[in-house]
Amino acid sequence: MKKSWYRRMLLSYFPIFLFTITMLTFLSFLMVNEISHNETVKADRISTGYIMDTLSRSLRGIETDVLEEVEKNEQYRNFLNVDRTTENHEVMFEVVDSMRGLIANDSLIDSMYVYRIEDKQVLTLSGLVPWNNFADRDFLEHAIANASYQGWSTIRPYHELSMESGKKVISMYKREPLPFGTEGLVVINVNMYAVERMIQSMKNDSVTFLHIRDKVGQLLFSTMNTDEVDGKVLNKVEMNMLGWTFESGIAAGQLFLWVSVISYVWVVIGVLTVLFAIVYILYITRKNYKPIRVMMNRIESIQLRNGGLGMKMDELTLIDRTLENLIQQTEDYEKEQHDHLLAGRKQLFYDLVQGEESANVEERLLKLKVLPAGMKLEQFAFIMVEIGHYGNFRSGFSARDQHTLKFALSNVLQELARDEGMFAWAEWIGESRMGIIIGMGTDSKAAKDRIRQFAEKGGEWVSANLRMSLSFGIGPVLEGWAKIGISYKSAVNAMLHKLSLSKEAVIMSDDLPGNAGKKSYKYIQLAADLVREFRLSTGLWREHLEQIFESLEADCLKDEDIQMLLQTMMDMLGSELGNISEELQDYFKGEKAGQWKQTVDDTMSLTELRSLFLAYLTELYHHYVAFCETKNHHAMITEMKAYIEENFANPDLSLKHLSDRFHISAKYASYLFKEEFNMKFVDFIVQLRMEHAEGLLAETEDSVQSIALQVGYANSITFGRVFKRVIGVTPGDYRRLKLKPGKANQTGTF
Distance CA 424, CA 492 (A): 18
Work out the percent of the chain whose per-residue pLDDT is above 90. 1
Element at 209 (helix H, strand E): strand 208-213
How many helices (H) does the chain have, and how many strands (E)?
26, 16
Q: Of the ranges 6-10, 29-33, 329-333, 682-686, which is most confident?
A: 682-686
One-letter amino acid at 683 equals D
CA distance 242 to 642: 107
Q: State the pairing for strand pair 379-387/219-222.
A: unpaired
Say which residues have a Cβ less than 8 Å from residue 692's Cβ, sequence separation at least 6: 648, 710, 711
In sequence order, the 6+-apart residues with CB closer than 8 A to the CB of 422 are: 438, 439, 440, 450, 451, 454
Domain shared by 439 and 545, yes or no: no
- Given a cut of 80, whether residue 54 has pLDDT beyond it is yes
- pLDDT band for position 339 (50/70/90)? confident
Q: Are residues 616 and 739 in the same domain?
A: no
- pLDDT tier, 125 (very low <50, low <70, confident <90, very high otherwise): confident
What's the pLDDT score for residue 261? Answer: 58
Which of the listed residues 454, 484, 511 is the one where a domain comes to its end? 511
Q: With 80 as the cut, is the pLDDT of residue 724 above it? A: yes
Q: Is 163 helix (H, G, I), strand (E, B) or coil?
A: coil
Instruction: Decide if pLDDT at 743 tops 50.
Output: no
Residue-wise pLDDT tens digits, 176-219: 887 777 888 899 999 888 888 888 888 766 667 888 888 888 88
Mean pLDDT of the chain: 79
Q: Is residue 260 very low, low, confident or very high in pLDDT (cuts 50, 70, 90)?
A: low
Asked if the structure places residue 296 within a domain, the reply is no
Terminal Cα distance for the chain, rounded: 119
Question: What is the pLDDT at residue 748?
Answer: 35
pLDDT in tens, 534-546: 777 777 888 888 8
| CATH number (domain holding residue 654) | 1.10.10.60
Cα 157 from Cα 339, distance rounded (Å): 105
Residue 746: is its pLDDT beyond 50?
no
Mean local confidence (pLDDT), 627-650: 76
Is 472 within a domain?
yes
* pLDDT surpasses 60 at 631: no
Q: Among 440-444, 571-575, 651-655, 710-714, which stretch is predicted with the lowest mean pLDDT?
A: 440-444
Give the largest CA-CA distance in the chain.
Answer: 145
Are 654 and 715 members of one domain?
A: yes
Query: What is the radius of gyration, based on Cα positions, of the chain?
Result: 57
CA distance 316 to 8: 10
**CATH number, domain with residue 498:** 3.30.70.270
Per-residue pLDDT, 229 = 47
DSSP code for 373: T
Q: Do 496 and 557 fall into the same domain?
A: no
542 within some domain: yes
The DSSP H or E segment spanning 508 is strand 506-508
Q: Could you tell me if residue 734 is inside a domain? A: yes
CB-based contact 471:495 (threshold 8 Å) = yes
Average pLDDT of the residues in 632-652: 80
List of residues 6+ apart from 380 with CB closer than 8 A: 437, 438, 439, 440, 477, 478, 479, 480, 481, 483, 484, 487
Residues 499 and 395 in one domain: yes
d(CA 70, CA 178): 8
Q: What is the pLDDT of residue 516?
A: 46
CA–CA distance, 517 with 520 (Å, rounded to integer): 9
Q: Which of 77-91, 599-613, 707-721 has the highest mean pLDDT?
A: 707-721
Domain of 114: which CATH number?
3.30.450.20
- Residues 474, 532 within the same domain: no
pLDDT for 747: 35
Mean pLDDT of 456-482: 85
Q: Which domain holds residue 442?
A: 376-511
- Among 606, 631, 656, residue at a domain's last position: 631
Q: Is residue 27 part of a domain?
A: no
Question: HSE-up of 173 (CA within 13 Å, CB side)?
Answer: 26
Domain annotation covers residue 525: yes
Q: Residue 342 and residue 332: Cα distance in Å, rounded?
A: 15
427 domain residue, yes or no? yes
Strands (E), 240-375: 244-251
| Same structural domain, 498 and 524 | no
Percent above pLDDT 70 for the chain: 83
Q: Which residues touch 385 (CB under 8 Å, ≥6 apart)?
A: 413, 426, 433, 434, 435, 436, 470, 471, 472, 473
Is residue 297 a part of any domain in this protein?
Answer: no
Q: pLDDT for 64-73, tens place per residue?
A: 888 888 888 8
Same domain, 408 and 449: yes
Same domain, 617 and 671: no
- Within a 10 A sphere around the Cβ of 411, how many other Cβ atoms? 11
CA–CA dist 633, 42 (Å, integer): 93
The reported pTM is: 0.42
* pLDDT confidence of residue 290: 73
pLDDT at residue 347 above 50? yes
Q: Is 556 left (phi over 0), alpha (psi -120 to 50) or beta?
A: left
Q: Is 629 exposed, middle or buried (0-12, 13-18, 19+ CB in 10 A)?
A: exposed
- Is the torsion defined by CA of 520, 523, 529, 530 positive or negative? negative
- The total domain count for the chain is 4
Each residue's pLDDT tens digit, 480-510: 888 888 888 888 887 777 776 655 578 777 7
CB–CB of 79/112 below 8 Å?
no
The pLDDT score that the predictor gives to residue 226 is 54
Domain boundary among 631, 664, 699: 631
Q: 410 and 489: one domain?
A: yes
Closest alpha carbon to 556 in 604, 601, 614, 502: 502
Per-residue pLDDT at 157 exceeds 70? yes
CA distance 652 to 647: 10
Q: Are residues 473 and 581 in the same domain?
A: no
148 with 197, same domain: the answer is yes
